[in-house]
Amino acid sequence: MKKLQNNSQTKHRLSLTSSGVPGFDEVLGGGFPRHSLYLIQGLAGSGKTTLACQIGFDHAAKGEKVLILTLIAETHGKMLNHLSNFSFFDEQLIGQNILMFGGYNELVKGGLDGLLQLITGMLAKHNADILIIDGFRSVRDSSPTTIGLSEFMLSLNSLVASMECTTFLLSPTEGNVADSENTLVDGLIELSQHQEGMQLIREVKVFKIRGSKHLLGRHVFEVGENGVVVYPRLEAISTNNRTMDAASSALVGFGIPGWNNITKGGVNKGSTTELLGNPGVGKTLMGLHFIYEGLQSGENCLILGFYESPPRLIAKARSVNIDLAKFIDNGQLQIIWNPPLEISVDALAHQTLENASERKVSRLFIDGMDGLLDIVMHAGRARPFLTAFINELRSRQVTTFITRELPYLGDRLPKNIDNSPSSILYENIMLLQYVEISGINHRQIAVLKLRQNGYDSANHVMLISDHGVSIGRSISAEKLTQEIIKNNALNNES
């Protein structure tokens, strides 16, 4: 048989062909409907040629025949030289399963009819599965009449369908405009760039794919040594899948006995807890206690950090008698660390969720929510992104702790992203603050919110020693200093 049949094909469904590009099939709704005509557009440097050739090399590696026809574009030698930097490039496929042709002379001499005759002959002779036409803008630049261009597009679409050849046209344009190239193709895909300040990210948008339910909106992609990798926007995935988390009555402890007592045993499995606190008050240490208890119980855990590197985090844990190194060595604990600079929040979210799924992570500690929100580039996106991210974690039954910074001093509680209160996103909220008595700042901790469980709502003294975090009794401001002295004495004795 000439064609490889897709296993998902049914009597009432078009056969889909995979793009071979990580993440792209999910945006496309499963892949490209076969034997159709697609326009991939985008300004210079957007990644059109790399994307199309990556698709071509993937199919050629599977034994299919791929033809690349160039009009006004870079020479074949330069194209191959540039593609050779990517891991998908296989020189042995050139001249065998991948054949390259030039078509500009036929376009100049014979116009659209001459170009169509060339394409017809190529497809008939080589029995092609994939056709890539680079520099397709030259067709419009050849000054055809409007009706002439429309007739050419209709003829080309009919030709590739009858010859059973999935075809990609590459054009250096942008926008879903009412041109023949856009309206008479089966699919329209745009590659673009979004700039925020001095930072630039690449995005892909699928305007239409006939016969497929694709994800709407923009999706980030990156071009690296392996070629193009697409990161479907998390909000679109969650909306499309309508993932629901399973409610659990099981409790997950903090690894701090006094705090377990205050919360009547901990928080619900799969819930999200926000640790709000002043700088240096002990938020990270509480998160490390939470992770350490899971590790000691044999659970797989994950830390996502932005400010303290893994060596510094391990050293901080060691200073309070928490040994993380041995759990990193045996694979129970992994740390994903990225300074909040020019990194993709979509790539980071997908990496985190993939890690959680593959390793069956039960506890996640996100140390520095401010760092995560700093890398969300589009205005107004932070809250829906975070909502989708948290819902995906809940659906995997990952119990999550998140730290969030308060001002250095004062009782003012911040609003969450986009002026929405934290209670909308998190089941549990803990407040860690400094309280000043006689010119000295002391630590105080309290529960602001704890869903599905009773708790002690009083303020409690919080102490940090060589043995880690400990929680004292509920205390009034007048007796706070005495309680701190008493607890310090007990810690020194132990």
Q: Is the pLDDT of residue 292 over 50?
A: yes
Which one is predicted more confidently, 454 or 175? 454
Which one is predicted more confidently, 223 or 2? 223
- Architecture of the domain whose range is 16-232: 3-Layer(aba) Sandwich (3.40)
Which one is predicted more confidently, 173 or 226? 226
Q: Domain residue spans in the chain?
A: 16-232, 251-493
Question: What's the mean pLDDT in 459-473?
Answer: 88
CA-to-CA dists, residue 221 to 216, 246, 285, 336, angstroms: 15, 31, 35, 20
β-partners of residue 221 are 202, 230
C-alpha to C-alpha distance for 348 and 472, rounded to whole angstroms: 38
Token pair, residue 288, equals 């490390």
Q: What is the pLDDT confidence band of residue 214, given thresholds at 50, 70 and 90? A: very high
Q: Is the pLDDT of residue 182 over 90?
A: no
Render 87-144 in DSSP notation, one character per residue: TT--GGGBTTTEEEEE-HHHHHHHHHHHHHHHHHHHHHHHT-SEEEEE-THHHHHT--
C-alpha to C-alpha distance for 321 and 306, rounded to whole angstroms: 23
CA-to-CA dists, residue 97 to 68, 312, 386, angstroms: 11, 51, 45
C-alpha to C-alpha distance for 420 and 422, rounded to whole angstroms: 7
Q: Are strands 363-367 and 460-465 parallel, antiparallel or unpaired?
A: unpaired
Q: At 420, phi and psi to the nearest 5? A: -100, 135
- CA 242, 248, 251, 252 torsion-angle sign: negative
Mean pLDDT of the chain: 88
Radius of gyration from C-alpha coordinates of the chain: 29
Question: What's the mean pLDDT in 201-228?
Answer: 94
What is residue 290's three-state secondary structure? helix
C-alpha to C-alpha distance for 26 and 43, rounded to whole angstroms: 24
Q: What is the pLDDT confidence band of residue 81, given thresholds at 50, 70 and 90? A: very high
pLDDT in tens, 360-403: 999 999 999 888 888 898 888 888 999 999 999 999 999 999 99
Contacts of 210-216 with C-beta under 8 Å, sequence gap 24+, read: 210/33, 210/36, 210/186, 211/14, 211/33, 211/36, 211/186, 212/14, 212/16, 212/28, 212/29, 212/30, 212/31, 212/32, 212/33, 213/29, 214/27, 214/28, 214/29, 215/26, 215/27, 215/29, 215/240
C-alpha to C-alpha distance for 483 and 447, rounded to whole angstroms: 19
> In the block, which residue shows the tokens 């996100």?
366
Looking at residue 2, its pLDDT comes to: 42
Q: What is the pLDDT confidence band of residue 412, given thresholds at 50, 70 and 90? A: low
Q: Is the pLDDT of residue 180 over 80?
A: no
Looking at residue 3, its pLDDT comes to: 42
Q: Is the pLDDT of residue 22 over 60?
A: yes
Residues in the chain: 494
Among the listed ranges 293-307, 410-424, 430-444, 459-473, which one has the minimum average pLDDT value? Answer: 410-424
Percent of the chain's residues with pLDDT above 70: 88
Q: Is the pLDDT of residue 177 over 90?
A: no
Q: Which of 14, 36, 32 is nearest to 214 (CA)?
A: 32
Q: Which of 343, 346, 345, 324 is nearest to 335 (CA)?
A: 324
pLDDT in tens, 314-333: 999 999 999 999 999 999 99
Residue 319 gets which letter from DSSP? H
pLDDT in tens, 344-364: 999 999 999 999 999 999 999
Q: Is the pLDDT of residue 435 over 90?
A: no
Does residue 144 contact residue 115 with C-beta atoms inside 8 Å? no
pLDDT in tens, 45-77: 899 999 999 999 999 999 999 999 999 877 899
Looking at residue 1, its pLDDT comes to: 35
Looking at residue 422, its pLDDT comes to: 61
pTM, two decimals, is 0.85
> In the block, which residue shows the tokens 């020693």?
465
C-alpha to C-alpha distance for 358 and 334, rounded to whole angstroms: 12
Looking at residue 374, its pLDDT comes to: 87
Q: Which of 43, 72, 45, 70 is nearest to 56 (CA)?
A: 70
Which one is predicted more confidently, 432 or 212? 432
Q: What CATH code is assigned to 251-493?
A: 3.40.50.300
Q: Is the pLDDT of residue 416 over 60?
A: no
Looking at residue 225, its pLDDT comes to: 95
Neighbours of 432 (CB within 10 A): 21
